[in-house]
Amino acid sequence: MNLNEKKKVWSLRYTPGNSDVDSAIGAIAAENGISEVAAKLIYNRGYRTALSVESFLSPSIERAHDPYLMKDMDKAVRRINEALERGEKITVYGDYDVDGVTAVTLIYLYLKSLGADIDYYIPSRSKEGYGLSTMSLENLKNSGTQLIITVDTGITANAEADYARELGMEMVITDHHECHGELPVACAVVNPHRPDCEYPFKELAGVGVVFKLICACEISRHSDEDKTACIERVFEEYSDLAAIGTVADVMPLIDENRIIVKRGLASLSQTERIGLSALIEAASAPSGNARPAVGEPEKVKKKKMSAGFIGFALAPRINAAGRISSAQKAVELLLEEDKDRAAEKAHELCQINLRRQKEENAIAEAAYKTIEEKHDFENDRVIVLDDDTWQQGIIGIVSSRITEKYGLPSILISFDGATRGYSSLDDVGKGSGRSIKGMNLVGALDYCRDLLVRFGGHELAAGLSVMRCNLDEFRKRINEYAREHLTEDLSCIKYDVDCEIHSDEIELSLANELAVLEPFGVANPTPVFLIKGLTLNKVISMGAGKHSKLLLGSENRNFQAVYFGMPASSVDFYPGEKVDLLCQMNINEFRGVSTVQLVIQDIRLSDECETEYDHERHRYHEILDGAEFSCDEDILPSRADIAELYRFFRRENMSGHTSFTYRMLRSQLFEHLRVNVSYPKLRFAISILGDINVCGISEESSEVVSVEVYKNAAKTNIETSETYKRLCNQCGA
């Protein structure tokens, strides 16, 4: 599948001209003392009343919801307090991803501070898989556990909850995954997605639910205090961990999540957690893998904390432990209080992450090859791949990459560890999937539930287990569901654009003002702007050839734009052309100087350039068909034009270049010769070189020509060219 064949659609969320909308945006700007550009961004995100705008701009804890509005919260707090009073052993049972790790760490620290007899347990992804198991419950019983608190898991563990009760243990379940079927029987089941839960915000992460549980516990223990004071203490102490888990689990950064992450980022920037500080330092190092010498003074770099830093630097390192090693290593780091040991553990997580990256890339390349060779893009809207050797802890990340690359839901299934040394139909494969807007992945799996051993997750991400004998039917069934429910046009790539800005608005003041919208993430995306008619001056390779930098100009101003993941050799735009950009805007700090930097999302020729090229192409074909033209038009090549063009092709051939687009040629001729060559003149000049037998000319397509300069061509005169003679006749020269 050639992704370049997909049509790109730029969808503007705001266009001027609607008087009601423009009036509302003007009011937002005036009432809050912000620019109209910032006001447009806020309006685009659905904040249109004075109260909602104020809540968005000032996400304070006073706007957090009462934790006791969550169903069973009172029961959970009561049972935990009973365990504390009786001195019962409590074990926190969590998931092995970042959400689970931070949730385990958070509640462990809180209950430990209250003097609890507390332990934690995270199953091995490869040996035990997701969620509770009878084996793990037996181990906990043998360790003396009396109360289990699940975090980020347990909502579908009906049989396991029953078994725990048979063993004499009680359970408080906290989770945030979607419910399907009857709830487990437990002392309390705290999950905002419960059908009977009226909690006003449903999109908390697993760590967010635990955060609210701790708020409720704190309120219950200090009933003589104002609730806000109790909640403030929890935010002060634990919002950093809650922010990491919330961002890593890709939860929408609105409502309470926005409050948690905003406060958490502020805490992270000055964290006193030894382990977390060591991880931040390691992730901030140039190599991303710092390992200070034992006893060396701590050198924590001043790093701006952002949701992006969590998502791209901290979360992958925490996640890697649970994916290919043990999530316990990540919890141990977050709990570590010795600086030297913390530095060693942070370094170990970085090393594990490097292994994860290597394995991930190998799986991704194998998956891409299979997709290109075998996937039926015409009929199948869900990519389902399986392999006996893929590491289960990594396939979810690769699924994300596949969905992003192809714009289709994807599910990867690994039978690693499920085989007996040979393939068997009753092997159970564990899968991880990612979806796109328009198809609820849990709904799709529910449609296939009779074919699955188990499944669970969210709308856009889910896990499953399936027997090998059901795999083909599962692939067929889930695509049947997708064809019915996934109705959006998959033949195009859609870019959501906030609004158009003009070159005179590209200022540091605007880039700084965008910080008022942070943290960015799901439901509050990083703003994307359309900027039209910038002149491309130069394309520069950067990042060992993986990325490119574009130097752009408009009137008397110059800008820099970086294009990540786009090598300079693949940038199909040339100096002198006018382009329109879709870009994000940030601030580049270099040697103490701050400048605006544009980050390109997509690029295309400006309408002005397209119109000019279309006109010149049309004029070329008119003249080719015999139309007359004036000597004043830049059409008829001179002897000097032909000579310069010949010398240019000879130099290019010596460098191994024989294939050219006409747009590329015009740009390169301008760079080398500092002369503008019209499209018709260029086409006719190349034809003349072929006529006089000094070059071999062949058209690869309507806009690509191959030119081979003959080494021993005899000297000749352009007047012998049939093309030149015909042109002279048509213009009367």
DSSP letters for 504-548:
GG--HHHHHHGGGGPSPBTTBPPP-EEEEEEEEEEEEEETTTTEE
Average pLDDT taken over every residue of the chain = 91
Mean pLDDT (whole number) for 44-71: 94
Using an 8 Å Cβ cutoff, are 332 and 346 in contact?
Answer: no
Tokens representing 399 are: 């699924």
Alpha carbons 104 and 584: distance in angstroms, whole number = 36
Render pLDDT for 442-463 as a digit per residue (tens, 0 to 9).
999 999 999 999 888 888 889 8
pLDDT value at 295 more than 50: no
Burial of residue 581 (CB within 10 Å: 0-12, 13-18, 19+) is buried
Q: Which residue has the higher pLDDT, 543 or 128?
A: 543
**Phi and psi of 255, rounded to 5°?**
50, -130
Alpha carbons 435 and 460: distance in angstroms, whole number = 5
Alpha carbons 580 and 601: distance in angstroms, whole number = 11
State the DSSP code for 179.
P
In Å, how far are 247, 406, 557 from 357, measured between CA atoms?
20, 20, 41
Mean pLDDT (whole number) for 72-99: 97
Alpha carbons 288 and 347: distance in angstroms, whole number = 9
Sign of CA dihedral 531, 532, 533, 536: positive
Using an 8 Å Cβ cutoff, are 485 and 438 in contact?
Answer: yes
Sequence-ordered list of residues with C-beta below 8 angstroms from that of 138, at least 6 positions apart, any chain: 167
Q: Which residue has the higher pLDDT, 7 or 117?
A: 117
Helix, strand and coil in the chain, % to nearest 5: 45, 20, 35
DSSP β-bridge partners for residue 492: 7
Using an 8 Å Cβ cutoff, are 303 and 312 in contact?
Answer: no
pLDDT value at 110 more than 60: yes
- Of the CA atoms within 13 Å of residue 239, those in its CB half-sphere come to 24
Confidence of residue 300 (pLDDT cuts 50, 70, 90): very low
CA nearest neighbour of 243 among 511, 59, 114: 59
Alpha carbons 259 and 63: distance in angstroms, whole number = 8
For residue 495, give the H/E element and its range. Answer: strand 492-497
pLDDT value at 1 more than 60: no
The whole-number pLDDT of residue 574 equals 87
For the chain, how many residues are written? 733
Tokens representing 143 are: 């360790």
CA angle (567 as vertex; 352, 397 as ends), nearest 5: 30
Sign of CA dihedral 135, 136, 138, 139: positive
The whole-number pLDDT of residue 561 equals 95
For residue 462, the one-letter residue type is A
Render 124-151 in DSSP notation, one character per residue.
-TTTT-SS--HHHHHHHHHTT--EEEEE
pLDDT value at 305 more than 80: yes
Using an 8 Å Cβ cutoff, are 691 and 720 in contact?
Answer: yes
Mean pLDDT (whole number) for 287-297: 49
In Å, how far are 368, 376, 421, 468, 620 from 629, measured between CA atoms?
52, 51, 78, 72, 10
Using an 8 Å Cβ cutoff, are 392 and 360 in contact?
Answer: no
Alpha carbons 215 and 207: distance in angstroms, whole number = 12
State the DSSP code for 384.
E
Alpha carbons 212 and 189: distance in angstroms, whole number = 14
For residue 543, the one-letter residue type is G
**Phi and psi of 578, rounded to 5°?**
-95, 135
Tokens representing 362 are: 């190998």
Alpha carbons 49 and 333: distance in angstroms, whole number = 44
The whole-number pLDDT of residue 298 equals 44
pLDDT value at 292 more than 60: no
Render pLDDT for 536-553 as a digit per residue (tens, 0 to 9).
989 999 989 999 999 999
The whole-number pLDDT of residue 667 equals 81
Render pLDDT for 579-628 as a digit per residue (tens, 0 to 9).
999 999 998 887 888 889 999 999 999 998 899 899 999 999 999 999 99
pLDDT value at 4 more than 70: no
Look at the block and give the residue holding tokens 């994807």.
410
The whole-number pLDDT of residue 378 equals 84
Render pLDDT for 232-256 as a digit per residue (tens, 0 to 9).
999 999 999 999 999 999 899 999 9
In Å, how far are 604, 610, 616, 679, 693 from 577, measured between CA atoms?
10, 10, 14, 13, 32
The whole-number pLDDT of residue 99 equals 96
Alpha carbons 270 and 265: distance in angstroms, whole number = 9
pLDDT value at 427 more than 50: yes
For residue 506, the one-letter residue type is I
Q: Which domains does the chain have, with CATH numbers?
A: 3-15+496-605 (2.40.50.460), 59-251 (3.90.1640.30), 269-372 (no CATH), 382-488 (3.10.310.30), 609-731 (1.10.10)
